[in-house]
Chains A and B, each alone.
Chain A
Amino acid sequence: MTDPGPDSSAPRRAVLPRSSPKLVTGLALITAIILFGVTGPLFAGDPDAINDIGLTPPGGGHVLGTTQMGQDVLAQIAYATRGSLYIGVLVGVMATVLSALFGIVGSYAGGVVDEAFSLFSNVMLVIPGLPLVIVISAFVPPEQRGAWTIAVVLAITGWAGSARVLRAQTLTLRNREYVLAARVAGEPAWRIITVEILPNLLPLLASQFVFSVIAAILSEAGLSFLGLGASNSSTLGTMLYYAQNGFALQRGAWWWFAPPGLIIALFGCGLALINFSIDEITNPKLRAVPRRIRRPRREPAPVGRPSQDVVVSVRNLSVTYGNTVRAVKDVSLEVRRGEILGLAGESGSGKTTLAYAINRLHRPPAEVTAGSVTFHHRDGGDTDMLALPSGELRAFRWSQMSVVFQGAMNSLNPVMTIRAQLEDVLTTHRPQLSRSDRRARCARALELVGVDPARLRSYPHELSGGMRQRVMIAMAMLLDPQVMIMDEPTSALDVVVQRGILREILRLRDELGFGIVLITHDLPLLLEVSDRIAVMLGGEIVECAAAEEILARPRHPYTRRLLESFPSLTGERGAFVRTGEATGGAR
């Protein structure tokens, strides 16, 4: 129950040995408490032996002191821990079986059964558990209230949460290929559930079991503390009940009431720590990433303006991920005013990392280790991007250089309207604008990219993919920046929409005159639209030349290989975007 299970996937098993201090602490706590509960009663004396040294503080013959009746607290705790663990495991098993029944079977069956099971679980979930348990146990006469009765009541009131989690997971599993294949092959449902689905749910079942155990121990303790626990059984809760009724607190007998609670707390904490480490293993995002704050080595100082039409100069830039992977190696590059600079290369070649580093959008563990990025303003004056303090960097971003991101489907905040997301650019960068001016500018920006300004009131999920991408482009142009970085701006869209948007970008570039860094793996597209193309391979720019030059006389072998992999390039289809004849005016 402490292990994610023998059926956990291979990569997880490979990660598990890299144990964190949290996991070790958690495992040690749990092991110690279970050992204590299982073996403790064998060594401890009679927990109920009464003698006349009531309420002795710890020390001497009684390591943890005595109760009001002179019983040895340590012996009582040993038996109580065993009792609590027993009930916890009983409830854990029953609740897990119930939740599996309602969660897995229901969602596998689907249809009315699923609806009914799911409604039932949700109803059980919102009805407050402990009051229900109290009412049920109050109706059972004390002499019939054994550990099993309590366990059954706790299981009945405690399975619903896990059932919901299991249902969600089963729903995703039942549509996997291997499950569908087994169905097509005509395997019976019980076999598909036990052979194909259950093994994949084991890690989840294990963690739900762990949660039911700790919840049961806590609830049982609460119930016993209220005097409603299992009669003639000793648990940590009953100990606390007697301590409370023996006025342990008022008499300052901390050794009587503190240890039972502490054991429950440490047990819960141990399970939480283990669960925490399992979470971190399955979801690497949650792992702690140390923030490195290191100034880049500035060997090449920021450069002066090479010529009037250069807007960004990148010199010998290197970006590494956590000291080991050099994603961008010693890259030098210039972006000119009003040009489209294509950045080509396969995925992992460092295109995106390079583009982000220009605007300092790279995140730890990525860091710039060498080089310089200089921005040359339209009206004179240069900015050393890597030295810009954070406040000025924020002011610079978007107003001089905006970005349209890869997979723009998710670039818009799902819980804010389009208007709010456009307007917050203006409220941040142009605070002097009046409300009506802001609105007018946002509406105009949308019109510019061919989106109905009525869409300002919409939320992102109400727009199609192409429309969202147009909104992003409108947003990128809102402040009339000098450079726009576009990272695969159209690759998630279908071809017709893609071409329509690219035509729009070209038109706007001609109209407004911003420079574009266009990142894509789609070389034919770059050859059509860009003025110059830089080809990246393994973090380096292997070739940078005018688009026609690249097409006619590629110098680097990798460029040639890239060109050869697109057979259609030998034909005469290059006019596709610029004339738009094949798209028939489709947007």
Chain B
Amino acid sequence: MRYYLRKFGFYLAALWAAVTLNFFIPRMMPGDPVSILMAKLQQRGGSVNPEARRAYELLLGTDTGEPLTKQYLSYLGNMLHGDFGISVSAYPVPVSEVIATSLPWTVVLVGIATVLSVLVGAGLGMVVGWRRGTWLDSLVPATTVLAAVPYFWLALVLVAVFGSALGWFPLIGGYDVDFTPGWNLDFLGSAVHHGILPALTIVISSVGGWLLGLRNMMVSTLSEDYVLTATAKGLPNRRVMIWYAARNAALPSIAGFAISLGFVVAGSIVTEQVFSYPGIGSKLLEAVQNNDYALMQGIFLVTTVAVLGANLVVDLLYGVIDPRTRAGGNA
């Protein structure tokens, strides 16, 4: 139980740190984002009521003479309500609404790609480690090359080959605009068709890390006494490989999931840009290009919450997989 409480506490602290960073970054940086924002807003014919202006000031900080602590508390209050202000680039839609429409695209894309990459990478790593000394070893340096390729460049190459040259997949977008988004087959089919290349980019770039991690741990684990015992027990090879070797070898990879996920999220932002994918990464860049600071900060926070949430789930899973982590509570 203590393990879980500690984990919850840690992620709460991380969330608080992210929210606070979000508060201080614009205040520490040069320039006056609020005026830029206001100017942009007026350009678009947006009326600036005092309430909206106040929300921006809280978010971005401007010299209003109000004490910092008071600003901070009001800011926290706004964040709690999910009130990130109004998006300039999509005026007059609130930031939260812009995020709500684009977030599912990214979550589904990154989620499926990550799960695929973990399954394929860890599965291959397990087999390569188990059959060490065979031709499979040559897979290992090959995957390090893949891992070193920049995401967006790989995306460009994939588009050039499978999109432009072969014409198998669409070049950009998340779905065919002829179809209306919703739960109909045409739309879903086109979304899948559009998602294959971006997902492939993420899988190819991240699979090497999982493969290498599990392979190396597998090789170390194979010399453990319990694997020898399992062999001596006459268990089938598959059972020894999966239940005795791989289950133990996977633990460090799971513990390092946070780092891997960080890379995937970073990569997917850039990948979305290449494909003009309607996800949160493209929105973030759109916000940056339009000085839409409110949207930018909202997206940063939501991304952070999603990443923290995914890590929390993995940490809780780790507690289930490795009984030793739970020991703290029993002792």
Enumerate chain A interface residues (CB-CB to B < 8 A).
22, 119, 122-123, 125-132, 134-136, 138-141, 144, 161, 214, 218-219, 221-222, 225-228, 240, 244, 249-250, 252, 254, 257-258, 260-261, 264-269, 271-273, 276, 279, 283, 285-286, 288-291, 359, 361, 364, 393-399, 402-403, 405-408, 410-416, 424-425, 428-429, 459, 461-462, 472, 475
Contacts and interface: CB of A to CB of B under 8 A. Distances in A.
Given A126-B258, A141-B31, A240 B153 contact: yes
Given A127-B14, A258-B157, A461 B323 contact: yes
Contacts of A475: 233
Contact of A410 (B145, B224, B273): B224
Given A265-B149, A414-B324, A424 B235 contact: yes
Contacts of A252: 160, 164
A266 B145 CA distance: 7
Contacts of A139: 25-26, 29, 31, 33, 293
A228 B288 CA distance: 9
Contacts of A125: 258-259, 262
Given A227-B288, A261-B149, A425-B233, 19 more contacts: A122-B10, A123-B14, A127-B307, A128-B262, A139-B293, A221-B153, A250-B171, A258-B157, A269-B144, A276-B140, A283-B220, A291-B133, A364-B133, A393-B234, A398-B233, A402-B233, A415-B323, A428-B236, A428-B239
Question: Dominant SS at the A interface?
Answer: helix
B107 interface: no
Most buried by A among B33, B232, B273: B232
B64 interface: no
Contact of A264 (B148, B171, B258): B148
Question: Dominant SS at the B interface?
Answer: helix
Contacts of A127: 14, 17-18, 21, 304, 307-308
A410 B225 contact: yes
Given A125-B258, A126-B308, A126-B311, A415 B322 contact: yes
Nearest to B18: A127
A413 B14 contact: no
Contacts of A403: 229, 232
Interface residues of B, number: 90
User: Closest 7 CB pairs between A and B?
Assistant: A268-B148, A261-B153, A130-B266, A397-B234, A139-B29, A272-B144, A410-B225
B98 to A, nearest CB: 15
B232 A461 contact: no
B119 interface: no
A131 B148 contact: no
B284 A285 contact: no
Interface in B220-256: 220, 223-226, 228-236, 239, 243-244, 247-248, 251
A408 B225 CA distance: 8
A86 B200 CA distance: 32
Most buried by B among A138, A144, A228, A252: A138
B38 interface: no
A474 to B, nearest CB: 13
B184 interface: no
Contact of B324 (A272, A428, A461): A461
B162 to A, nearest CB: 12
Contacts of B175: none
Given A265-B150, A276-B144, A288-B137, A131 B303 contact: yes
Contact of A267 (B33, B148, B243, B251): B148
B303 A411 contact: no
Most buried by B among A144, A218, A227, A228: A218
B300 A132 contact: yes
Most buried by B among A123, A252, A257, A410: A123
Contact of B265 (A130, A264, A286, A291): A130
Given A139-B29, A139-B33, A134 B284 contact: yes
B182 to A, nearest CB: 29
A412 B145 CA distance: 38
Contacts of B140: 276
Most buried by B among A250, A265, A283, A475: A265
B235 A428 contact: yes
Contacts of A285: 219-220, 223
A261 B234 CA distance: 50
17 contacts: A126-B258, A127-B14, A134-B284, A136-B29, A139-B26, A139-B293, A222-B270, A226-B285, A244-B274, A265-B148, A286-B216, A288-B137, A289-B133, A405-B229, A416-B244, A424-B239, A428-B235
B151 to A, nearest CB: 7
Contacts of A272: 144-145, 147-148
Given A126-B307, A226-B273, A249-B156, A269 B148 contact: yes
A244 B140 CA distance: 32
B327 A461 contact: yes
